[in-house]
A and B are shown apart, each in its own frame.
Chain A
Amino acid sequence: MTALEASGTGKGPVADAKASAAGSTPVTPAQHNARKDNRRKWIEIAIFVGPALLMFLAFVVFPMVMAARYSLYKWDSRQPFELAEFIGLDNYTRALFGGTDPETQEIFWKAYAEPFWNAVGNNAQIIALSMLVQLPIAMLIALVLNRKFPGRSSVRLIIFAPYVLAEVTAGLMWLMLLDPRGPVTQMVQGLGLPTPPQGWLEDPTWGFWTFFFIVSWKYIGLAIILFLAGLAGVPEELQEAASIDGASWWQVQWRINIPLIGPTVRVWAFLSIIGSIQLFDMAWVLNKGGSTNQYATIATLMVDTGTQRNDGGYASALAIIMFIFSMAAALLYLTLVMRRDNAARARKGA
């Protein structure tokens, strides 16, 4: 909130000047008008908050509640919902372990649970790889770039650019570049290295890694920029002091810079985890999660189920499961990891 607070307090002197010019005697509301004032206050509150609250309830909360309801039905979404049949938690049990009926369990395991766990696995791998691969790379780049050098601001600008591009355009760009007969293939072959025979994205083993590379290309800029913003707040005296004491560059980074931007890193990790759980656009643009679902996510499976297979009930169950995952991740993370940061911030009174 630093930036906002800064711009907020920047207005301070101006506002104070205006206030004192107008005479800053405290207002005492007339006693006999208290009830009228009170009604007036509530009308004002309704005018201000009303539109936003109504829109929010109608277009965010209501659809969420309906999704929970639909998830309890067997429903062909081409038919009106009145024709749907209530089946309790069957959609959920099918996703998790192929349903409770032993006769159909094997078929349903193949049809529902297998794609579901495949997608969950992909989401989980993307989360893990973000922490194990994106985080160290972004941190290293941020630490190295955290100094004055010619063209610094342009470099920062460029590194961040992919983040603002639509996933659709970025995805199509990589689809072109990674075409089996495209430039990446030619360059790799030019180096005398083997290339995946079925193409970068379609190969059973390479497909997922290629997808992760594309996602990283798109999002690592956010991590670098946030880390750099955090590093800008580390007092130079600390680094200088350590340096005088004979600490090497690595020791300065490891003992001072990285611990001090811990809160920024933890917030980035939080955003990254939630974003990874809900990942959709990029996977969908790149051949709808891949022809063998090699990088399908819960969200692409859900949209595929709802639009291509018209299974409204099962798609809604997947949506609710995704929501539960995000909620659980958020709550766990907030209580386990970020509680310390929030407590520290509260102590500072910021």
Chain B
Amino acid sequence: MATDTTTQSYRQPTKQSRTRTRLQGDSSIYVTIFVALIAVGLTLGPIIYLALGGFRSNGQLAADPTGLPDPWVWQNYWNILTQGNFWEYTLNSLIVAVATTAGVVLFGTMAAYPLARYAFKGREGIFIIFTAGLMFPLTVAIFPLFLLLNDLGWVGGYWGLIVPQIAFALPVTVIIMRPFLAALPDELEEAAFMDGLTRVGFFYRMVLPLAKPGMVTVGVLAFLGSWNAYLLPLVILTGREAPTTLPLGVTQFQGQNAADFAGIMAYTFLAMIPALVFFLMMERRIVDGLSGAVKG
């Protein structure tokens, strides 16, 4: 039945275009737009309220929680951007996220390369070990991890965040990169060896440039994961000297200024901006990466 009508609609383009309108509903475009508007409103509404709340005084917020800024108060944002540690925390988060991303992409791709292209005994075993890592969330290992990092003297420093974050991001990276590297044509490798390149040379000259799309995908996911991380910094970044990352900074600000609603709103919104900007720049990559990881 279905096949029958499919061929029919192929034969009759006019009918097909009429179908199109019927399929997409006669007046249902309004339903679509209505649903879209509600979804957008529910998503953006709270964020916009937060941003606007940062432009109000605590008095304004108390007098009329749902009102608009009147007059506009720049003080909250200005104070955070000029006085506190906001920039320092942002820089800390950036350092940790960039180092984590670099480590994940480099070591993950390196590990995936022999697993994809060498034939050797124990290859599947190693791959299964990495795959099983997907089942080990950082949450489960957090206390022994803390003790281990404490013994290494890494508690309260960057390394205590960066190295475990790389380790926990490796499984998904290896799983995404392996089929990607396996898809590179064999002829390429053979030609490179003919030209006298070693395997290592082939990896740096050919694999790294060709695997860029996959590396960007895993890199973007690793960056987001590190930027938003909360539990590991919460446990590791203790002590006076410890650097503070942005998510910790936001909660600290909230803890120290519990009554300053307008200030907390401004701080929280400012802390959201880098992630939103990164998302706007990398939207395609993030969505592809996630749906890729899901379908794989």
Residues of A in contact with B (beta carbons under 8 Å apart):
1-5, 7-12, 15-16, 18-20, 22-27, 41-42, 44-45, 47-49, 51-53, 55-56, 58-64, 66-67, 70, 77, 81, 140-141, 144-145, 147-152, 155, 157-162, 164-169, 172-177, 179, 181-183, 185-187, 190, 217, 221-222, 224-226, 229, 237-245, 249, 252, 263-264, 267-268, 271, 278, 280-281, 284-285, 299, 302-303, 306-307, 312, 315-316, 319-320, 322-323, 326-327, 330
Residues in A neighbouring B292, C-beta threshold 8 A: 1-4
Residues in A neighbouring B250, C-beta threshold 8 A: 168-169, 172
Residues in A neighbouring B291, C-beta threshold 8 A: 2-3, 225-226, 229
Beyond the given pairs A15-B185, A147-B29, 9 more chain A to chain B contacts, judged by CB atoms under 8 angstroms and listed by A's residue number, are: A23-B194, A44-B118, A51-B107, A62-B148, A144-B32, A159-B43, A164-B228, A169-B268, A172-B268
State the CA gap A47–B110 with chains docked (Å): 8
CB distance from A306 to the nearest CB of B (A): 5
Check if A166 sits within 8 Å of B185, measured CB to CB. Answer: no
Residues in A neighbouring B107, C-beta threshold 8 A: 51-52, 55
Chain A to chain B: the 3 pairs with minimum beta-carbon distance, closest first? A52-B111, A66-B144, A59-B167
CB distance from B11 to the nearest CB of A (A): 12
Check if A53 sits within 8 Å of B224, measured CB to CB. Answer: no
Residues in B neighbouring A319, C-beta threshold 8 A: 139-143
Dominant SS among interface residues on chain B: helix
**Could you say which of B36, B144, B195 contacts A70, with CB atoms under 8 Å apart?**
B144
**Could you say which of B166, B180, B199 contacts A55, with CB atoms under 8 Å apart?**
B166
Check if B190 sits within 8 Å of A19, measured CB to CB. Answer: yes
Check if A157 sits within 8 Å of B148, measured CB to CB. Answer: no
CB distance from A165 to the nearest CB of B (A): 6
Check if B230 sits within 8 Å of A281, measured CB to CB. Answer: yes
Check if B294 sits within 8 Å of A226, measured CB to CB. Answer: yes
Question: Which residues of chain B from 118 to 157 have a CB within 8 Å of any chain A CB?
Answer: 118, 120, 126, 129-130, 133, 135-137, 139-145, 147-148
Check if B228 sits within 8 Å of A166, measured CB to CB. Answer: yes
**Could you say which of A3, A44, A176, A239 contacts B114, with CB atoms under 8 Å apart?**
A44
Contacts A241-B6, A319-B140 given; indicate if A173 touches B46 (C-beta within 8 A): yes
B81 within 8 A of A: no
Residues in A neighbouring B79, C-beta threshold 8 A: none
Check if A141 sits within 8 Å of B230, measured CB to CB. Answer: no
**Could you say which of A155, A244, A280 contacts B231, with CB atoms under 8 Å apart?**
A280
Residues in A neighbouring B199, C-beta threshold 8 A: 41, 44
State the CA gap A319–B1 with chains docked (Å): 55
The CB with the most chain A CB atoms within 10 A, among B2, B8, B113, is that of: B2
Check if B111 sits within 8 Å of A22, measured CB to CB. Answer: no
Contacts A16-B187, A161-B279, A172-B268 given; indicate if A181 touches B142 (C-beta within 8 A): no
**Could you say which of A52, A237, A303 contacts B6, with CB atoms under 8 Å apart?**
A237
Residues in A neighbouring B126, C-beta threshold 8 A: 49, 53
Check if A4 sits within 8 Å of B23, measured CB to CB. Answer: no
Check if B62 sits within 8 Å of A168, measured CB to CB. Answer: no
**Could you say which of B35, B120, B145, B200 contacts A59, with CB atoms under 8 Å apart?**
B145
The CB with the most chain A CB atoms within 10 A, among B10, B110, B111, B193, is that of: B111
**Could you say which of B66, B140, B278 contacts A183, with CB atoms under 8 Å apart?**
B66
Check if A173 sits within 8 Å of B268, measured CB to CB. Answer: yes
CB distance from B160 to the nearest CB of A (A): 10
The CB with the most chain A CB atoms within 10 A, among B16, B140, B164, B228, is that of: B140
Residues in A neighbouring B22, C-beta threshold 8 A: 243
| 21 pairs from A and B in contact (CB 8 Å cutoff) | A4-B292, A15-B188, A16-B187, A26-B190, A49-B110, A60-B136, A165-B228, A172-B250, A176-B50, A179-B65, A181-B62, A182-B65, A186-B64, A187-B66, A244-B19, A252-B23, A263-B295, A280-B231, A306-B143, A316-B143, A323-B136
State the CA gap A240–B179 with chains docked (Å): 35
CB distance from A16 to the nearest CB of B (A): 6
Residues in A neighbouring B32, C-beta threshold 8 A: 144-145, 147, 149
Chain B 41-58, CB within 8 Å of chain A: the 1/0 string?
011101101100100000
State the CA gap A242–B115 with chains docked (Å): 46
Residues of B in contact with A (beta carbons under 8 Å apart):
1-2, 5-6, 8-10, 15-16, 19-20, 22-25, 28-29, 31-33, 35-36, 39-40, 42-44, 46-47, 49-50, 53, 62, 64-66, 107-108, 110-111, 113-115, 118, 120, 126, 129-130, 133, 135-137, 139-145, 147-148, 163-164, 166-168, 170-171, 174, 176, 179-180, 183-185, 187-188, 190-195, 199-200, 203, 210, 213-214, 217, 224, 227-228, 230-231, 234-235, 246-247, 250-251, 254, 261, 264-265, 268-269, 271-272, 275-276, 278-280, 283, 286-292, 294-296
Check if B268 sits within 8 Å of A176, measured CB to CB. Answer: yes
Residues in B neighbouring A174, C-beta threshold 8 A: 46
Residues in A neighbouring B214, C-beta threshold 8 A: 4, 7-8
**Could you say which of A1, A9, A240 contacts B23, with CB atoms under 8 Å apart?**
A240
**Could you say which of B42, B114, B145 contacts A49, with CB atoms under 8 Å apart?**
B114
State the CA gap A141–B37 with chains docked (Å): 11
Check if A303 sits within 8 Å of B231, measured CB to CB. Answer: yes
The CB with the most chain B CB atoms within 10 A, among A151, A183, A242, is that of: A183
Check if A315 sits within 8 Å of B143, measured CB to CB. Answer: yes
CB distance from B261 to the nearest CB of A (A): 6
Task: Look across to chain A and name the residue whose beta carbon is closest to the beta carbon of B279.
Answer: A164
Check if B183 sits within 8 Å of A249, measured CB to CB. Answer: no
State the CA gap A52–B105 with chains docked (Å): 11
Check if A55 sits within 8 Å of B135, measured CB to CB. Answer: no
State the CA gap A241–B251 with chains docked (Å): 55
Check if A323 sits within 8 Å of B287, measured CB to CB. Answer: no
State the CA gap A320–B184 with chains docked (Å): 40
Check if B24 sits within 8 Å of A268, measured CB to CB. Answer: no
State the CA gap A11–B215 with chains docked (Å): 14
Check if B265 sits within 8 Å of A165, measured CB to CB. Answer: no
